[in-house]
Amino acid sequence: MKNVAVIEHPLVAHHLTVLRDKNTTPSEFKSTVDRMSYLLASIFYAELKGEKVSITTPLKTTNGTRIKQNLVLLPILRAGLGLTRGFIDLYPEARISHIGLYRDEESLKPIKYYFKFPKLKDKKNTKIVILDPMIATGGSVIFTIEYLLNMGYNDISVVSLLSAPEGLKAIDNRFGNTERKSFNIYTCSIDQKLNDKGYILPGLGDAGDRMFGTL
């Protein structure tokens, strides 16, 4: 699959195992997703481009690096919220946009109920990272990318915990030939398949319900 990076990291694998375990409590689930958000942020942030700047230390003038790109974090509500903290803590200059989507239980199509995006002048210099723990049919991610492309943004990445092959294929079929500056998907595992209700197997169950205790 083009542009898909499967993150290989012993701590990521360890925490993912905690998340998959059905005996993990909602409180452990939440704190583990939070820990994952720091690991994933540090891996994703290698994409950012720094620019050389001249600064003066208390002793002398020297060169340093500063990030000049606009960065927008875009968690897909609800479960994407769980992945946000590490990203914002490691780079507090990032803006946070929100999109509210839920999957219709019958059709599995995403239904939008909320969207808020910062007013930015320089679209070309803006990088957006969509945060969503689960890529199942791919419908939610496809909807969000289409929305952003229609707004004129094309530097878009996605960070997730688990993906189904069906969802990654659907994203590739939809955007494989889209002209874009960069378009990367980071995931911690490509699982086996979807079940007939659109859940990832073996997966971790319903991420939003486990995170917010709404089972």
Residues that bind ligand URA (CB under 6 A): 79, 134, 136, 198-200, 203, 206-208
**Max CA separation in the chain (angstroms):** 66
Closer to ligand URA at the Cβ: 76 or 156? 76
- The Cα–Cα gap between 208 and 190 comes to 19
SS3 at position 110: strand
Among 110, 189, 203, 210, binds ligand PRP (CB under 6 A): 110
- Residue 110 interacts with, from ligand PRP, ligand URA, none (CB under 5-8 Å by kind): ligand PRP
Contact criterion met (CB below 8 Å) for 134 and 79:
yes
Stretch that binds ligand PRP, among 7-15, 25-33, 85-93, 131-139 (CB under 6 A): 131-139
56 forms bridges with which residues in the sheet?
Answer: 61
Residue 75 binding partner per list ligand URA, ligand PRP, none, with a CB distance cut-off of 5 to 8 Å that depends on partner kind: none
Does residue 82 touch ligand PRP according to CB under 6 A? Answer: no
Interface with ligand PRP includes 165 (CB under 6 A)? Answer: no
Smallest distance from ligand URA to CB 14, Å: 20
- Judged by CB, which is closer to ligand URA: 106, or 122? 106
Q: What is the phi/psi pair of residue 176, to 5°? A: -50, -35
Distance (Å, whole) CA 52 – CA 68 = 10
CA atoms in the 13 A half-sphere facing the CB of 108: 15
| Subset of 172-211 contacting ligand PRP (CB under 6 A) | 198, 206-208
DSSP 131: E
How distant, in Å, are the alpha carbons of 50, 72, 188, 212 from that of 19? 34, 26, 12, 14
Q: In angstroms, what is the minimal distance from the CB of 86 to ligand URA?
A: 19
Residues in contact with ligand PRP by CB under 6 A are 76-79, 101-103, 108, 110, 132-140, 167, 198, 206-208
